[in-house]
Structure 1
Amino acid sequence: MPAVPTAADMTPAPRPQGGTGYRSALQLLASLFFMWGFITVINGTLLPHLRSVFELSYFQAALIESVWFIAYFFASIPSAKLIERIGYQRSLVTGLLIMAAGALGMTLAASIPSYGVTLAMLFVIASGITLLQVAANPYVAVVGPPETASSRLNLVQAMNSAGTMLAPLFGAYLILGRSKGGTAGNDVVLTPAERLADAHSVVLPYLLVAGVLVVLAVVIARFPLPAMGQATSRVAKEERRNHSLWRHRNLVFGIPAIFIYLIAEIGVGNLFVNFISRPDIGNMTTEAAGRYLTLLWGGMMVGRFVGSALMQRVRAETVLAAFSIGAFVVMTITVFAHGPVAMWSLILVGLFHSIMFPTIFTLGIRGLGPLTEEGSGLLIMAIAGGALVAVQGKLADAYGLQTSFLLTAACELYVLFYALWGAKPVVTGGEPVTPERTTDVFS
């Protein structure tokens, strides 16, 4: 019978002497969270831009994002294998360089311009982000005490949200603001020459992104990151046979929770600009709507700071349940209301989505002990759920964009189920894992 993880299995990695190096490491890792959040959300402004350039349907535009998240499915396991071979720090550097190569490839796609090359380069960038996710999320969760993992990861993920908040401003100014399709009304038909000029507007933003990624890779390569410790190291084959990921209920139900939540988050982010720019909702240009996207992701940043503080006093499962109920309510309003009410209710869902990913992730790996590395890889693979945003695009084409958000509301209900029952860290045939709470997130 598989052994129940012991307290020794959950021993956090040793803190560097003085504590300053530990905090500096978290601050540096926060910059990684910022960058992949920034790049991911650029797609939110890139999609309506490409829809105009290539004259795409909602389904074809959503397929761009689907390719992005399919990368998580295919790159997660190879990423875990790479981390095992070269270590966490070198994997972080490699991930940043892969992202930089993809960003440079986007300038090539814009110069041609080519829809196919665009899809390929987005896949490359997403593969680099996958490697960062597989390495950085468990690092932040395990490098401190397990009882404050959710609070700690929410705090660092707030920097991810800062990136997602600033990206729409960057994209609206340097992509939509410099293009004919971004500044014209929804009913304007672009000439071939105007579409070519709009495609070229992507070159400068991605050159800037590539440069920042290379600089960050150099900094990470030279920084003395603390070791992960023995808590998450792979065990020998003989000992490994005594452990099974699939006997941990919190992981088994956490994998679909991540998958389903990503359908909700990415669906909202990708269709947001198209939705609030509609005459019966916000009645604005896509450039103006791109600026409102900042409020959606800004709500996620605020929510993660608030959630991190709440989880110092309230169980993570309880906070997650409350936020999932709030998300369901505002998405229901979005579907059935009109005008500013529908627009602001969709903006508000960012606040309630804020804690979902980091909280589900840390609840999912809780109690895994030496299986944390493998469990983390599976949870990151589940980010591929964002690829199913193409399903919402299909629903939008068939039944209307507003009605398609019923899919988002349904996703919030599964997160509620996970918070109330699926997240309980019970090992089949063993005792529940119930770590005590402490009040120091950086202990």
Structure 2
Amino acid sequence: MANIPVSEFTQSSEDSQVTSYKPTLVSLAVLYFMIGFITCLNDTLVPFFKKGFDLSYSQSSLVQFYFFLTYGIMSIPAGKIVEKVGYKSGMVRGFMIASLGAALFLPAALLHEYYLFLGALFVIAIGMVLLQVAANPYITILGPAKTASSRLTLIQGVGSIGTTTAPLFGSAFILGPLEHASSEAVHYPYLGISLVLLLIAVAVWKLKLPTLTANHSHTKEARGPFTYRHLRYGVLGLFCYVGAEVSVGTFLTNYIADTLQISENEANTFVAFYWGGMLAGRLIGSVVLKSVAPARLLTALGFASMALIFCSLNTNGYVAIWSMIALGVCNSVMFAIIFSLSVKGLGAATSQASGYLSTAIAGGAIVSYGQGYLIDHYNWSIAFVLPLICYAYITFFGMKGYKPEQTYTA
């Protein structure tokens, strides 16, 4: 699951006497769990809607298209909203908007209209974007600065637990009754999600959170972010990464079902291992990155990803599906590495660069739709060439694209 990057913030003096942040960190952990859970539950909705509405692969991939397109549209506006209303209010509003979107599954189910479901997902995604923009800064300041990275890794790990449990939840409560019900199978789970989100919004509203202010202590003169070569390449790298991660996860259920000749419900349980691999990879990666250069690790993971896809497409049975599932481990630290390498040395231009990198998350919309189109018109082998190309570019970025050669001339 992709996370919107953060800028630099400091804690205001009026909060300086707040010493225990455990309740707030627990709340943020719950927040990230829900973000991961809801985002990856889309992987269950794709095969569900495909069968329930008799859709093509490209039509069913509109679930991801509209959801991740929202990141491209709303990342920068969400930052302005949070700047105006504050971070606590931004989180509360994010939960409420997402709760509203989940509740809209009820009328969509009653009317049995696919595009109403897409509208509901678009509303949920707006809430998710606002949540991430508002919540991320808190993680970095709630405690000693020297442990900020470990706190962020821990909270993102909780998000990975949400991505791992979502396919299991989807198999039990959405795909399980697929043979016996139509779109009604989704409105009860999403009404429950809506209620949970609303309760969390109330809990966050009652919390006493520290006040944050932007840190403008940079001494380096701000320049247009795109005057930096490595940022330009990094934006495309992040676009490719999110596109590959989301497109593989989107069609993994159907790919497994076709490969093993099993039902979508049975196949969907395997997807939990794909997202679980990301959780394990993040834990392992946090240790490996202490001794291995990030660019070198990214290059190795890029090559490994291409090899796994090639292996999957040229084998069959469980070798084929576990090769594809193993991509989750490779994906685990790619986002963090690409982002950190992209903003390295940008100084005062970092905040503006973060906005461009956030919009690149829309790659999840474009690449997944493109892969769905290729599946409809060709076959799985041709369709997986698209994420293969994405990983090839990521490999290039790890080898040469990350190098901070500045193209700006005074």
Return 121-130 or 417-426, whichever deviates more. Answer: 417-426
The code of the aligned residue for 2:279 comes to: M
| Paired position in structure 1 for 2:300 | 322
Return 23-32 or 307-316, whichever deviates more. Answer: 23-32
Cα distance, 1:324–1:99 mapped onto 2, change above 3 Å: same
TM superposition shift of 1:12: 6.5
| Paired position in structure 2 for 1:262 | 242
TM superposition shift of 1:111: 1.5
Identity %: 38
CA RMSD of superposed structures (Å)? 2.9
What are the ranges of 5 or more consecutive residues in structure 1 without an aligned counterpart?
1-9, 181-193, 431-443
> What SS does structure 2 have at the residue aligned with 1:269?
helix
The counterpart of 2:267, out of the listed 279, 289, 292, is: 289
The counterpart of 2:369, out of the listed 375, 385, 390, is: 390
- Which aligned pairs between 1:396-435 and structure 2 lie closer than 5 A? 396-425=375-404, 427-428=406-407
| Paired position in structure 2 for 1:436 | none
TM superposition shift of 1:100: 0.5
Q: Is the 8 A contact 1:232 1:371 kept in 2?
A: no
TM superposition shift of 1:429: 5.8
- Which aligned pairs between 1:218-233 and structure 2 lie closer than 5 A? 218-231=202-215
Q: Is the 8 A contact 2:21 2:143 kept in 1?
A: no
Find the aligned partners of 1:210 and 1:232 in 2 and give their Cα distance. Answer: 38
Q: Is the 8 A contact 2:221 2:348 kept in 1?
A: no
- Which aligned pairs between 1:91-240 and structure 2 lie closer than 5 A? 91-137=90-136, 140=139, 153-180=152-179, 197-231=181-215
| Paired position in structure 1 for 2:61 | 62
Find the aligned partners of 2:186 and 2:172 in 1 and give their Cα distance. Answer: 11
How many residues get paired?
Answer: 400
TM superposition shift of 1:421: 3.0
TM superposition shift of 1:368: 4.1
Q: Is the 8 A contact 1:150 1:362 kept in 2?
A: no
Taking structure 2 as the reference length, the TM-score comes to 0.88
TM superposition shift of 1:14: 5.0
The code of the aligned residue for 1:70 comes to: L
For residues 177-207 of structure 1, the C-alpha deviation after alignment (integer angstroms, 9 at most, x for no partner) is 1221xxxxxxxxxxxxx5xx32101011101
Return 366-375 or 379-388, whichever deviates more. Answer: 366-375
For residues 111-152 of structure 1, the C-alpha deviation after alignment (integer angstroms, 9 at most, x for no partner) is 211111111111111111112233334554687899987765
Find the aligned partners of 2:286 and 2:129 in 1 and give their Cα distance. Answer: 24
TM superposition shift of 1:225: 3.3
Q: Is the 8 A contact 2:239 2:360 kept in 1?
A: yes
Structure number with the higher helix fraction is 2
TM superposition shift of 1:85: 0.8
Find the aligned partners of 1:120 and 1:376 in 2 and give their Cα distance. Answer: 27
Return 137-146 or 56-65, whichever deviates more. Answer: 137-146
Q: Is the 8 A contact 2:221 2:347 kept in 1?
A: no
Cα distance, 1:120–1:134 mapped onto 2, change above 3 Å: same
> What SS does structure 2 have at the residue aligned with 1:13?
strand
TM superposition shift of 1:275: 0.5
